[in-house]
Amino acid sequence: MEPQVTQAEIARAKKLHSMLLFDFIVVHVFLFVIALGFIKSSFIPLYLMPVISFALLGNVLFKAKRAIICETSDFVLSHILLAAQRARLFLLLFVVTGTLTAALLLGGAQLDISKVAGYALAFGIGQLPFMVVLLVLVVLEFDAEHQCSSGRVPAAALALTQKTRKV
């Protein structure tokens, strides 16, 4: 049986899902394409991408920490904790693959790797898994936002809430 939720609760619960979707789609897809277009003339879009993403992910995590203390609705808390868990996963992935890509691109010469091989390794090992996981997270977030709009709580989100409430 699904809980009865108000439109205000749905709106509060959808905020972080929308913020994550904005980060995933606009920042990491569209801004990345723009950065590739300007790569010959300017690196500014490439540098803006992690700055904007870290700010958005940090905001999601901050609001989730605050919601654990302040939020009274289990429906809203469930969706906020689910969004925070995905934000933490994405942040870890972003840091690991970004560090690997940067190390291969900038330090490939010190490892005696040719420039072409460095690019192939950086984008094949560093960025390809990142983009695949990004696609999966976009699908999961769209589903979570749809469930939120319908007033439903995913089972994973409910488990997170019960675990948090016990602590």
Instruction: Give 1-45 pLDDT, tens digit per residue.
Output: 466 888 989 999 899 999 999 999 998 888 878 877 877 777 777
% of the chain residues with pLDDT over 70: 95
Give the DSSP H/E element, type plus range, for residue 60. Answer: helix 44-70
Distance, CA of 23 to CA of 128 (rounded, Å): 18
Q: Report phi then psi at 130, rounded to 5.
A: -60, -45
